[in-house]
Amino acid sequence: MGSVEKNRSEKLRHQMASTIRKIAIRVDASQQIGTGHFMRCLTLADALSKDGCTLHFVCRQLPDHLRQSATARGYKVTLLDTHANSPLQRDLHHSHWLGVPQGQDAAETLEALKDERWDWLVVDHYALDFRWERELRRATRNILVIDDLADRQHDCDALVDQNLYEGMESRYRGKVPDHCECLLGPRYALLRDEFRAERNDVQIRTGPLKRVLLFFGGTDGKNFTQKAMRALEKTGVSDLIVDVVIGASHPTRPEIEAECERLGYRCHVQTSRMAELMRAADLSIGAGGTTCWERATLGLPTIALCAADNQAHQLRDAAKRGLLYFSDDASGDMNGLARHFSTLAENSMLRENISARAFATVDGKGISRLLNVMTCSGIEVRPANATDSGLLFEWRNHAQIRAHTRSPLKFDWKTHQAWMSGVLADPHRALLIGLKGKQPIGTVRFDLQGEVAEVSIYVAPEMAAQGLGPSLLRAAEMWFWKRHSQARKIHAFVLGKNVRSQKFFQGAGYELESAAYFKTKKTT
């Protein structure tokens, strides 16, 4: 590589490293709402921050220790006024969680975000729907909704529901725009890095029961922690190590700490060692929500209790798949919980089966999959124009690009110009230029016929080693789906010997549909 080309590449790398993505997050936490929504958003924020993004939380309700946790990481937090006497909407099941009408919340959130143009707005709130999201379109390029209920309409570009339900593929049908990418199931569970790290040392649980973990979330409004402790005491099972985890704001914290001391249990308050404790345990008793998938990724068998109405569906369907043990009569009755605990304590084969199924179902890589969708490497796309012709001509004729195309011969300038003019004039073809900052980094083309489009992609040769292809493809797909609502499928045709491209599209979520074979006539 000559010195001029080398210096140019170093300059491009510096330009790309300096690109910052701006992400806003609207979420609340309280005794009523719980802390789970905020914690999964904080987990996402941590991953986005590592990817070079800047974060701004907008909250109306947020305990001080959670606010401090966000600001200590360098994230901006704006607290909206509580408006104690504000009239409430009642048209959504969880409208009362918001504390103000959606229109008022939208106006105040817009005011909080007015100084920037946001790349993504993340919304994790059961009291907000398409009306609020439509208003916030003025402040953001894209909207991501995190939901569990599928009980309202959304105006968003991507939606994550990390829970496992029967028939989840149709759960949001008719509730999101046609272009919205739905990321459904525990493959997209928003888990902290520590769970993926601890997973490397996990073994399927076998043998006798020696250690039990009790955890019911940061607030535990129904005080299941004490009920579970008393149920364990009632069973008379001895020689167990019992870890009890509670949040700093647990309403009966002093009583739980005293009871743990009396029973010889270990009490952990607002611990940062949750993944470690889960890996060490042989059995857990806990609530639904995100914690289900934290336990599953570490193969921890669980007796699940329904701590909120919206968890019942999740827990029943997960139990049908053998990922946990759930029974309605265990959730509010100490005797029922003691009985179910004894059943699992005495049945090591059942615990082993739950452990194996859970471990195989949740791999802890959900955050990475979501980041691919959000293209948080800072890549955007724009339609190509005539001034891009020279750049595309240079790229297309590069030996590295030609080696993986169906037409490996070089194009002459006249042929390229005719092709370029034809593509730009055809309403059924979309030719896009990928950008990182202001730097072109590759191209994607869609050729649409009816409901099916064929996609072709290549990254600029000087960028090929930087792993930009997946993000470029994601950004182009989102652009395409938004503007071509009639399209239902994207095809990618790959040469049989091009194993690298085959793996690329498989990694991007494409599935093998057919294979073409040929046989060349032998000449003598």
CATH topology of domain 377-507: Aminopeptidase (3.40.630)
Q: Hey, which bits of 238-327 come out as E strands?
A: 241-246, 266-269, 283-287, 302-305, 325-326
518 against 178, higher pLDDT: 178
pLDDT (tens digit per residue) in 306-356: 887 778 888 999 999 999 999 876 666 778 899 999 999 999 999 999 999
Q: What is the pLDDT of residue 487?
A: 87
Residue 399, pLDDT above cutoff 90: no
Half-sphere exposure of 70 (CA within 13 A, CB side): 29
* Candidate from 120-124, 143-147, 246-250 with smallest mean pLDDT: 246-250
Q: What is the pLDDT of residue 330?
A: 64
156 against 313, higher pLDDT: 156
Q: What is the pLDDT of residue 405?
A: 75
Q: Do domains 17-184 and 194-361 have the same CATH topology?
A: yes
Q: What is the pLDDT of residue 166?
A: 85
Residue 433, pLDDT above cutoff 90: yes
pLDDT (tens digit per residue) in 352-395: 999 999 999 999 999 988 987 886 556 889 999 999 999 999 99
SS3 55: strand
Q: Kindly indicate the confidence band of residue 80, based on its pLDDT and cuts at 50, 70 and 90.
A: very high
Q: What is the pLDDT of residue 2?
A: 36
pLDDT (tens digit per residue) in 480-499: 988 888 888 999 988 777 78
Rounded CA-CA distance 130/159 in Å is 12
Q: What is the pLDDT of residue 384?
A: 96
Q: What is the pLDDT of residue 8?
A: 35
Describe the chain by its helix, strand, coil percentages, rounded to 5.
Answer: 40, 20, 40
Across the range 42-48, mean pLDDT stands at 96
Rounded CA-CA distance 222/332 in Å is 9
Mean predicted lDDT score pLDDT of the chain:
89
Residue 102, pLDDT above cutoff 60: yes
Q: What is the pLDDT of residue 15?
A: 38
Residue 172, pLDDT above cutoff 70: yes
SS3 287: strand
Q: So where are the chain's domains?
A: 17-184, 194-361, 377-507
CATH of 17-184, one of 3.40.50.11190, 2.40.50.140, 3.30.750.24, 3.40.1280.10: 3.40.50.11190
Residue 524, pLDDT above cutoff 70: no
Residue 9, pLDDT above cutoff 90: no
Across the range 412-437, mean pLDDT stands at 94
Residue 32, pLDDT above cutoff 60: yes
Rounded CA-CA distance 300/241 in Å is 15
CATH of 194-361, one of 3.40.50.2020, 3.40.50.2000, 3.10.450.50, 3.40.50.2300: 3.40.50.2000
Q: Is residue 325 within 8 Å of residue 354, measured between CB atoms? A: yes
